[in-house]
Amino acid sequence: MESHPLSLSLRDPIRAKIQKRIEDLQKGYRQNVGLIARSGLGKTHLLLSIYRSSLGISNLIPVYLPADILGFDHFAECWIGALVSGLFVSQSVPYPKNFASLLQAAEPIIPRTLEKIRHFKKMMRHEKNAACLKELFSLSTVLAEETGKKILFILDEFHALQALPAQDPFSLLGREIMVGKNTLYLVASSTPERAREIFREKLSMLFGNFEVIEIKPLSFDETAEFLTERLPGVSWTEMQKKFFIRMTDGNPDYLSLLTEQIFRLLPSDFDGHLSFDHIKEAFTRELFNRRGRIALTFENRLDSCALMIKDPYPYIGALLAISSGRKKLLGVSTFIQKTAGETKAVLQRLVQEDIIAKRGSFYILEDPLFRFWLNHVYSKRHSNYSPDEESLNQDLRQSLSEEFYAMENEDRIDITARVEMLFKEFRNDMVELNDKKVRCPHFSEIAFRPTNGRVFPLHARTSKARWFCQIARERVVEEDVGIFLEELKRIRKNVQRKIFVTLGGIDQNAKLMAQQANIQLWDLRSFNALLELYGLPKMILMKDLQRKEHNGTNLGAVAQSLH
């Protein structure tokens, strides 16, 4: 079985956008790109694919460099080596692998650039400082001028530049980016929060010149397609696909490793019917086995907590607290037995390291499989008083079964009940939704109004606040927004918040119409984010299920989302 972390065809829109920027560069227009994605979503695989596809472009020098290299001396050598070898690659000429031989071979072709490199190396022998780093960053501009070629500079894990010997290496790089018009920078990071902070605070002058693209987990439909593509001989049931979506959140690395385990488990006379026992065994091998690759990934994640401070327990304890549903400061503080101030410092550090995320007053672990592993493997293993782990192994299998059956039961709950369950959880919380802060009041009354068959109106109020919300199971059009506005006119009291939950999406004109009327739009991704904050099950809706809905099957399946 071929093992890819990602089926690249599913990332074609992102690839096409970057390829368009490369084409624009050759025409004299430059738009730098920032690519951010959490670990395991196929970022580096995509970057390498773009690099390889650029090798045959005659007037382009492709350069690829991972920035997370230990030590400035090695970093500088790799920076220079990537630039110079890129020149040979662009001409389809073999080049020496030894650094000194590489520079010697390039001397007759780019003497000006080599003179600049010698000057840099002389500076570096005296002092490794900002001036030295500025000289290193300027090499790409000199190389582009001397060769008359454009440069595609792919800098992976660019946030690691902060370790370089300068007070603000990003500002130095930013100044070079501004003057180096013949170099297209494609910078990437697997720490989204830190990357956004760098764009916002360190590269703020350049932010308009960076098109920031975030790689999201695979959508629900893409995940289903991925499973079918990876195991074409398997007849997946609807619930089996939903289980993978629920557990992995569309992470391509997890999906690849788990389906690889399933492939190994299938008998030689496999008839196409995949039992849940196969799935359960695959998850157990990856999560419980100490050599399981997903388990090792999670162990390494915890090891990073141990490097933060002499006593890692508060950090690991905070992760255990959050994974078990304690998502606010007070709950975590009680769990790790630290003061609110000490706990806040621990949580802030975990946010800075992109291990957890802060959403208003909530702290969350966005990786559902990591949460599951912490709860059902790590915590139980560390509270086991016997070296015999067979009972823990069986407990994990039982937990996987319970998760599956809980999902089946939740899938039968209709959309109105799900919305009501969510609104009843509000406790005057501040949440972050679509990069905006929203206060969710503790409602004293939640009531649904008669439906027209397309939308379900909901009124919720407190003594001081009133919300009017409509939930649409089908794609929203202008007529639906018009009906929403007419309904608002019939409400006598002021409405503080107007919300349209668009489960099936919304037409562009309807979206503009709603925005002009100050109606907040919660798509299924946003709605699922709220459900997750409050510990409620995510809705999973796929295209084939949408068609069933339109053909008249019961509404309960509508509470399934596009992420």
**CATH number assigned to the domain with residue range 415-558, chosen from the 4 options 3.30.360.10, 1.10.287.130, 3.40.1350.10, 3.40.50.10330:** 3.40.1350.10
Tell me, what DSSP letter sits at residue 273? Answer: B
Q: Among candidates 458, 454, 480, 455, which has minimal Cα distance to 469?
A: 458
What percent of the chain has pLDDT above 70?
93
pLDDT interval class at 115 (50, 70, 90): very high
pLDDT tens per residue across span 238-260 = 999 999 999 999 999 999 999 99
485: tokens are: 């506005």
Average pLDDT of the chain to the nearest whole number: 88
Phi and psi of 250, rounded to 5°? 75, 25
What's the pLDDT at 12? 81
Q: What is the mean pLDDT of residues 225-238?
A: 93
* Cβ within 8 Å of residue 176, ≥6 positions away: 134, 137, 138, 140, 141
8 A C-beta contact, residue 558 and residue 503: yes
Over the range 500-510, which residues count as b (16 or more CB within 10 Å of their CB) and which as e?
Answer: bbbbbebeeeb
What are the boundaries of each domain within the chain? 8-214, 415-558
For the segment 443-469, what is each residue's pLDDT rounded down to a tens digit? 999 988 777 778 888 899 998 889 999
Tokens 């099950």 sit on residue: 537
Dihedral sign of CA atoms 166, 170, 176, 178 in order: negative
**Torsions phi, psi of 152, nearest 5?**
-100, 110
pLDDT score of 208:
53
Q: What is the pLDDT of residues 148-182, one digit of tens each?
A: 999 999 999 999 998 888 888 998 998 888 888 99
Q: Where are the alpha helices (DSSP H) in 274-366?
A: 276-287, 293-306, 313-323, 329-336, 340-352
What are the phi and psi torsion angles at 468 (to 5°)? -120, 125
What is the DSSP track for 384-450?
Answer: --SS--HHHHHHHHHHHHHHHHHHHHHTTS-HHHHHHHHHHH-SSEEEEETTEEEEE---SEEEEPP
3-state secondary structure of 48: helix
Confidence (pLDDT) at 373 = 97
pLDDT in tens, 84-114: 999 999 988 888 989 999 999 999 999 999 9
pLDDT value at position 87? 93
Contact (CB, 8 A) for 407 and 368: no
CATH H-level superfamily of 8-214: P-loop containing nucleotide triphosphate hydrolases (3.40.50.300)
Give 451's strand partners.
Answer: none
